[in-house]
């Protein structure tokens, strides 16, 4: 989010998901739609059927790569070098839209200085992508007419993430691909309401509607509406600061709503250590999870299906979700629990329903002020900005090529490529990258409790490994093995596949036994503070006695299930 917010003024998808199939060229970078967002993947297939060109940049032969016109299999951790080379080709070959660059962008001279040395030949040395292919990709992208960039966590989960996002947004600026349908750039969000959580200001630097906490006029507005004398004026801490701040004795209490950081955050051992050091851990959730085992108090909340509200889709689309069944047990909605907490702390808070909360919220946010419950009901979905009673929302941003930056222009930005922090070596000779799979989701408490989805895949999850690496270690398909990094060691099961590239192995992050975040490193992007989930050094240890390994797996799994069931009777 930080990347696009800096260069374009808005961190969300510039265009809509339905527009994907109407573009002339799809440029997919570090994004495996088939496993992460199957419905978006279908749009990609449909775009292809309608004649769009498809360029895919990914180290793995993903489904999109399989049907692509051009597949650029880059080395893991070389994103920035390749993106700089793309810009280099666009400029040096005269493929950029000079009028557009002159009228609607700024920062070209410095940008050009930075990308000048990233010739395709130079980038080939770093990324392993042939120079010829880099040139072909940019010729295809720049001459398509309408081109749409999609990127995913193959970009954002590196130590150098924000720079790469800025770089990608620059390619669309150079070619004038903004401000009309079926162009632009789209980060496709991993979880259903990542966009909404940002929209609501669950961020340390902004109130709802992306209004800065450092702006005195904004604070005054919220102070008045919320009836408090003074709101904090310093940007707050990020979630990824928690481990080190706790170590330094600066963080004492943690109120966790609907997250499982022990399972989903990098370097799980450090997260556990932080939770143990906290004086108070409050967990508010729907299921017992690994994080809740460290709590002092657990507040049971209703789940999706048991309460109503609004989600934001990745393309800024607000839509209402509804209650289908009555909750079982003595549980409450998240907002009721928070209202009780506020009241007990001396701030009386009472809402009748979600509509009352929503109405208060849109009244404070010019960006959403026209998106009433009534309108959402009537139209089904409304994409913000929706600033007036008449507005039906905004499918694409930057109409008239007016960007939401202070100057109104799009910012061209490039940075030097930085290699990933942890390098492979003799002891840890393989790269581990964490990825998604289609049947499960996030920390798995929801999908793992669904019969059909659990049958599809269960513990300890799979390690995707290229056949040449598997042969070198003497590992057969479906065999159990150990994988270790400098931080931990876990059991996993081999899936020998040549869709993975040699030298890198891939794991999904939802497993308890095969918990890849016991292995990952917390090399944070300096701006977004997102950990480097996509790159750490590991080694493999084959297991001779597979019968023992299968039994060990069963025992460990039962033990964990028992530990997590125990507090709930």
Hey, which residues between 296 and 335 contact other proteins (CB under 8 A)?
A: 296-301, 303-315, 317-326, 328-335
H or E, element range at 495: strand 489-496
Q: Which stretch binds other proteins (CB under 8 A): 23-31, 348-356, 402-410, 492-500?
A: 348-356
H or E, element range at 359: helix 354-364
Minimum distance from CB of 370 to other proteins (Å)?
16
Please, are residues 208 and 359 in contact by the beta-carbon 8 Å criterion? Answer: no
At a CB cut-off of 8 Å and minimum separation 6, what does 374 contact?
none
Q: Is residue 289 at the binding interface for other proteins, with CB under 8 A as the rule?
A: yes
With CA atoms as reference, report the closest residue to 422 among 539, 521, 524, 529: 521
Minimum distance from CB of 113 to other proteins (Å)?
27
Q: Is residue 529 at the binding interface for other proteins, with CB under 8 A as the rule?
A: yes
Q: Is residue 45 at the binding interface for other proteins, with CB under 8 A as the rule?
A: no
Residue placing its CB nearer to other proteins in the complex, 100 or 368: 368
Residues 375-404 that bind other proteins (CB under 8 A): 380-381
Backbone phi and psi for residue 77, each to the nearest 5 degrees, phi listed first? 90, 15
Q: Is residue 568 at the binding interface for other proteins, with CB under 8 A as the rule?
A: yes
Q: Which stretch binds other proteins (CB under 8 A): 61-69, 117-125, 280-288, 427-435?
A: 280-288
Minimum distance from CB of 300 to other proteins (Å)?
4
Q: Which residue has the tokens 């297991």?
A: 543
Count residues near other proteins (CB under 8 A). Answer: 158
Q: Is residue 237 at the binding interface for other proteins, with CB under 8 A as the rule?
A: yes
Residues 509-528 that bind other proteins (CB under 8 A): 525, 528
Q: Is residue 3 at the binding interface for other proteins, with CB under 8 A as the rule?
A: yes
Please, are residues 24 and 145 in contact by the beta-carbon 8 Å criterion? Answer: yes
Q: Is residue 10 at the binding interface for other proteins, with CB under 8 A as the rule?
A: no
Residues 239 and 229: their CA atoms lie apart, in Å, by: 27
Residue placing its CB nearer to other proteins in the complex, 308 or 498: 308
With CA atoms as reference, report the closest residue to 211 among 224, 196, 199, 226: 199
Q: Which stretch binds other proteins (CB under 8 A): 77-85, 345-353, 416-424, 473-481?
A: 345-353
With CA atoms as reference, report the closest residue to 515 among 283, 265, 284: 265
Minimum distance from CB of 562 to other proteins (Å)?
11
Residue placing its CB nearer to other proteins in the complex, 135 or 444: 444
Minimum distance from CB of 165 to other proteins (Å)?
7
Residue placing its CB nearer to other proteins in the complex, 120 or 385: 385
H or E, element range at 110: helix 108-115
Q: Is residue 231 at the binding interface for other proteins, with CB under 8 A as the rule?
A: yes
Residues 519 and 196: their CA atoms lie apart, in Å, by: 30
Residues 139-158 that bind other proteins (CB under 8 A): 156-157
Residue from 252, 472, 489, 551 binding other proteins (CB under 8 A): 252
Residue placing its CB nearer to other proteins in the complex, 294 or 409: 294
Residues 412-471 that bind other proteins (CB under 8 A): 438-439, 441-442, 444-454, 456
DSSP 469-518: HHHHHT--TT-EEEEE-SS-EEEEEEEE-TTSPTTEEEEES--STT-GGG
Residue placing its CB nearer to other proteins in the complex, 389 or 451: 451
Minimum distance from CB of 167 to other proteins (Å)?
14
Residues 252 and 57: their CA atoms lie apart, in Å, by: 43
Residues 257 and 184: their CA atoms lie apart, in Å, by: 34
Q: Which stretch binds other proteins (CB under 8 A): 87-95, 140-148, 194-202, 402-410?
A: 194-202
Alpha helices in 108-151 (DSSP H): 108-115, 120-127, 131-143
H or E, element range at 232: none
3 state DSSP class of 147:
strand
**DSSP at 14:** S
Please, are residues 306 and 328 in contact by the beta-carbon 8 Å criterion? Answer: no
Residues 207 and 83: their CA atoms lie apart, in Å, by: 33
Q: Is residue 102 at the binding interface for other proteins, with CB under 8 A as the rule?
A: no
3 state DSSP class of 197:
helix
Residue placing its CB nearer to other proteins in the complex, 323 or 402: 323
Minimum distance from CB of 397 to other proteins (Å)?
17
Q: Is residue 136 at the binding interface for other proteins, with CB under 8 A as the rule?
A: no
């Amino acid at each position: 989010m930080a990347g696009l917010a800096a260069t374009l003024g808005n961190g969300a998808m510039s265009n809509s998901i339905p527009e994907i199939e109407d573009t002339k060229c799809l440029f997919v970078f570090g994004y495996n739609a088939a496993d992460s967002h199957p419905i978006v993947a279908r749009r990609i297939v449909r775009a292809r059927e309608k004649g769009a060109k498809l360029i895919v940049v990914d180290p793995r032969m993903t489904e999109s790569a399989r049907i692509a016109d051009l597949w650029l299999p880059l080395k893991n951790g070389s994103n920035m070098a390749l993106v700089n080379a793309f810009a280099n080709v666009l400029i040096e070959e005269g493929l950029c839209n000079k009028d557009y660059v002159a009228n609607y962008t700024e920062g070209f001279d410095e940008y050009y200085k930075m990308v000048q040395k990233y010739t395709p030949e130079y980038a080939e040395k770093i990324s392993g992508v042939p120079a010829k292919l880099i040139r072909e990709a940019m010729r295809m992208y720049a001459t398509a007419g309408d081109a749409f960039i999609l990127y995913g966590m193959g970009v954002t989960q590196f130590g150098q993430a924000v720079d790469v996002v800025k770089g990608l947004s620059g390619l669309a600026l150079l070619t004038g691909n903004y401000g009309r349908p079926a162009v632009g750039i789209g980060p496709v969000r991993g979880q259903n309401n990542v966009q909404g959580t940002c929209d609501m200001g669950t961020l340390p630097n902004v109130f709802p509607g992306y209004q800065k906490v450092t702006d005195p006029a904004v604070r005054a507005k919220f102070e008045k509406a919320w009836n408090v004398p003074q709101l904090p004026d310093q940007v707050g801490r990020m979630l990824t600061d928690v481990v080190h701040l706790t170590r330094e004795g600066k963080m004492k209490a943690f109120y966790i709503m609907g997250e499982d950081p022990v399972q989903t955050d990098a370097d799980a051992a450090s997260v556990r250590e932080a939770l143990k050091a906290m004086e108070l851990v409050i967990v508010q959730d729907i299921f017992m999870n690994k994080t809740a085992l460290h709590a002092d108090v657990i507040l049971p909340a209703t789940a999706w299906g048991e309460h109503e509200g609004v989600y934001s889709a990745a393309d800024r689309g607000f839509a209402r979700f509804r209650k289908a069944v009555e909750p079982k047990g003595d549980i409450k909605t998240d907002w009721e629990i928070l209202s009780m907490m506020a009241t007990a702390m001396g701030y009386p808070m009472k809402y009748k329903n979600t509509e009352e909360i929503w109405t208060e919220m849109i009244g404070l946010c010019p960006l959403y002020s026209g998106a009433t419950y009534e309108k959402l009901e009537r139209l089904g979905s409304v994409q913000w900005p929706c600033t007036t009673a008449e507005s039906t929302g905004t499918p694409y941003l930057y109409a008239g090529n007016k960007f939401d930056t202070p100057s109104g222009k799009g910012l061209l930005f490039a940075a030097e490529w930085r290699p990933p922090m942890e390098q492979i070596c003799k002891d840890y000779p393989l790269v581990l990258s964490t990825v998604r799979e289609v049947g499960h989701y996030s920390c798995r408490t929801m999908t793992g409790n669904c019969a059909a989805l659990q049958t599809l895949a269960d513990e300890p999850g799979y390690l995707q490994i290229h056949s040449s690496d598997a042969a070198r270690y003497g590992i057969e398909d479906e065999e159990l093995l150990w994988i270790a990094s400098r931080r931990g060691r876990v059991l996993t099961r081999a899936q020998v596949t040549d869709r993975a590239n040699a030298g890198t192995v891939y794991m999904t992050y939802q497993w308890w036994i095969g918990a890849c975040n016991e292995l990952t490193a917390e090399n944070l992007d300096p701006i977004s503070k997102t950990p480097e989930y996509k790159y750490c050094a590991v080694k493999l240890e084959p297991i001779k006695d597979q019968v023992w390994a299968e039994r060990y797996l069963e025992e460990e799994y039962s033990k964990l299930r028992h530990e997590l069931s125990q507090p709930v009777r």
